[in-house]
């Protein structure tokens, strides 16, 4: 394929490729600090690969088993990002919640977070998607007591039907997920929780789909991301007969509509509240800022990016959040 420059089959090959193509002013090697646009929020990958056998997913076959970056390296990379000026660092991975299980050290992801929070400075850490069983009491405790850990989690649901979860080869059931998000909402006030929902899995019946809608409707979830199932050759689900695209499309539409209702219901109680936020790049003469629990706030005046501010939430109409500055940028 003429548009393909290289095919890289290992981390070592990737490092060699980066070193050979890096501009000289950036330096070489994996310790180089990447650039993320406005230098407000940086991504730090701490884990690669996945050991989960989900029936619809090809990732374990192409990305290999779960592998964690050594905590000493994570700390060095994290400190370098802070020194470069980033004030929010998002820890990422293919299956971030599995961090540390291959290193022979206890504590997993919460232990890594505790090490990172020993680094001094004014910053915050955000987690990306974390599987349900990785949301442990230790992680919940950190969210309760560590103000630099964003009160925001994306917890994949995929389906609210136990028969579908079994066929998907997911390692939890609907009741476990329901209790998990309810407990988080009660123990971590204001937490913004999101869920990924995979609509139209080949064995999904109308009753299965309604069970998913019911779980979503009764949950404290704020952000619902609907994905239409698409077959991946080489996966167990890829051998199953697909549902009608029309059915899948309609189900995805209904999930997205419910997701909009959930978002609006979550945002409404914040009207009048004062919250800390990190400013982003202004757009059209108006400022933007992101709160720890993932409220994307439009401010009525332009503000320099990458500054911590205190905002007052004024409006949440239509799921869009508007606010004004209470304190000037720091």
pLDDT for the residue 9? 76
Measured at the CA of 162, the angle between CA 158 and CA 163, to 5 degrees, comes to 100
Cβ distance 36 to 90 under 8 Å?
no
Q: How far apart are CA 9 and CA 13, in angstroms?
A: 7
CB–CB of 89/82 below 8 Å? yes
pLDDT at residue 26, rounded to an integer: 39
Look at residue 2 in the predicted model and tell me its pLDDT. Answer: 85
What local confidence, expressed as pLDDT, does residue 221 receive? 98
Tell me, what's the pLDDT at 316? 97
Q: Which long-range contacts (CB under 8 A, 24 or more apart) does 159-163 make?
A: 159/197, 159/198, 159/201, 159/204, 159/208, 159/211, 159/212, 160/211, 160/212, 160/213, 160/214, 160/215, 160/216, 161/204, 161/207, 161/208, 161/209, 161/211, 161/212, 163/203, 163/208
Please tell me whether residue 312 adopts helix, strand or coil conformation: strand
Domain layout of the chain by residue ranges: 30-150, 274-327
Give me the pLDDT at residue 30, please.
Answer: 44
CATH number of 30-150: 3.30.750.210
pLDDT at residue 104, as a whole number: 86
User: 223: closest CA among 295, 127, 298, 160?
Assistant: 295
* Burial state string for 51-70 with b = 16 or more CB within 10 A and e = fewer than 16: eeebbbbeebeeeeebbbbe
Fold of the CATH domain 274-327: OB fold (Dihydrolipoamide Acetyltransferase, E2P) (2.40.50)
Query: Tell me, what's the pLDDT at 3?
Result: 85
Output the pLDDT for position 126: 98
pLDDT of residue 10: 72
Residue 284: per-residue pLDDT: 81
Element holding 297 (H helix, E strand): strand 296-299
Please give the Cα distance from 44 to 74 (Å, whole number). Answer: 8
The answer to whether the beta carbons of residues 43 and 90 sit under 8 Å apart is yes
- The per-residue pLDDT for 37 is 58
The closest of 149, 150, 140, 172 to 159, measured between CA atoms, is 172
Running along the chain, 330 residues long, what does each successive block of 10 average in pLDDT?
A: 83 76 46 61 95 95 94 96 95 96 91 98 96 98 97 98 98 98 98 98 98 98 97 94 97 98 98 97 90 96 93 96 89
For residues 318, 319, 325 and 330, what is the CA-based torsion angle, rounded to 10 degrees?
-160
């Amino acid at each position: 394929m003429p548009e393909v420059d290289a095919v890289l089959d290992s981390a070592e090959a990737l490092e060699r490729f980066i070193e050979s193509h890096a501009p000289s002013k950036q330096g070489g090697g994996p310790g180089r600090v990447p650039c993320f646009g406005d230098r407000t929020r940086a991504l730090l990958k701490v884990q690669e690969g996945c050991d989960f056998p989900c029936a619809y997913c090809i990732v374990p076959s192409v990305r290999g088993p779960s592998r964690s970056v050594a905590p000493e390296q994570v700390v060095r990379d994290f400190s370098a990002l802070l020194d470069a000026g980033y004030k929010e660092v998002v820890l990422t991975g293919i299956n971030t919640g599995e961090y540390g299980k291959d290193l022979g050290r206890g504590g997993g992801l919460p232990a890594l977070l505790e090490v990172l929070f020993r680094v001094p400075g004014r910053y915050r850490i955000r987690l990306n998607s974390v599987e349900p069983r990785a949301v442990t009491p230790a992680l919940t405790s950190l969210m309760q007591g560590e103000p630099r850990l964003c009160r925001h989690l994306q917890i994949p649901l995929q389906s609210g039907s136990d028969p579908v979860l079994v066929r998907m080869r997911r390692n939890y059931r609907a009741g476990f997920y329901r209790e998990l998000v309810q407990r988080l909402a009660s123990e971590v006030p204001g937490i913004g929780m999101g869920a990924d929902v995979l609509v139209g899995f080949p064995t999904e019946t109308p009753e299965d789909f309604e069970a998913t809608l019911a779980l979503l409707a009764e949950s404290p979830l704020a952000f619902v991301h609907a994905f239409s199932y698409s077959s991946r050759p080489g996966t167990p689900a890829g051998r199953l007969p697909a549902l009608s695209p029309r059915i899948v499309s309609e189900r995805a539409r209904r999930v997205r509509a419910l997701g909009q209702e959930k978002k609006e219901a979550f945002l409404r109680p914040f009207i009048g509240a004062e919250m800390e936020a990190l400013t982003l790049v202004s757009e059209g003469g108006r400022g933007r800022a992101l709160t720890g629990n993932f409220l994307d706030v439009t401010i009525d005046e332009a503000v320099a990016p990458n500054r911590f501010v205190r905002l007052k939430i004024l409006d949440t109409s239509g799921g869009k959040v508007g606010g004004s500055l209470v304190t000037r940028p720091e």
